[in-house]
Amino acid sequence: MTSDPGLAPGADKNQDGTNPAEPDEDEHTKLTRNLNELLQELRVMQTGVQILTGFLLTLPFTGKFGEIDTQEQVVYLATLAVSVITTALIVSPVAFHRNLFRQGEREWIVESANHAARYGLAGLALTMSGVVWLVFDVVAGAPTSFVATAAAAGLFLVLWGVLPAVRRARFGEG
């Protein structure tokens, strides 16, 4: 059984692989549905990444920023770079769709948007972990910042990676 790009395998299907809502869904309809679902998911991610990027862009203009050490500056710049890359990744499916609108490229758009969304999730996890490290390091210092970052990164890994992988493996698609 093949899975729909952008959807967790089995997420919208019965255990026999059929889609209960659309048992006779043609390829064009499936691609349209998949694209719409991906774009909805990306809207949620875009808000979070845009807020984080805005937060990171304003930090150098605060009084406390001048007091951070070299390690904190390096983590800040790396986190900002990942945040900007993540923003590009999660907005790119909109650009793919707009630039290839009515060009017969829906399958490529859905597949590419799925990859961009997955990499965007990874970037979002890295960005949020970097922000957690920065805030905890400035407020509480080490080792608290390392513990908080490990906890945040672990949470993202489990919720966004491990649980879906376990679900996929359970249905023999992993």
In this predicted model, what pLDDT tens digit does every residue of 15-44 receive, in sequence order?
445 455 556 788 889 988 998 898 888 888
The answer to whether 110 and 38 are in contact (CB under 8 A) is yes
Q: What is the pLDDT of residues 45-85, one digit of tens each?
A: 888 898 999 999 999 999 889 899 999 999 999 999 999 99
How deeply is 105 buried, as exposed, middle or buried, from its count of CB atoms within 10 A (0-12, 13-18, 19+)?
A: middle
**Quick check: 75 and 45 in contact, CB under 8 A?**
no
Handedness of CA 30, 31, 34, 35 (dihedral sign): negative
Q: Which residue has the tokens 């829906």?
A: 106
Would you kindly state where each structural domain of the chain is located, as residue ranges? Answer: 27-170
Its pTM stands at 0.79
- Quote the percentage of the chain above a pLDDT of 90: 60
User: What torsion do the CA atoms of 50, 56, 58, 60 make, to the nearest 10 degrees?
Assistant: -160
CA distance 169 to 55: 38
Give pLDDT tens digits for 87-104. 999 999 989 989 988 888
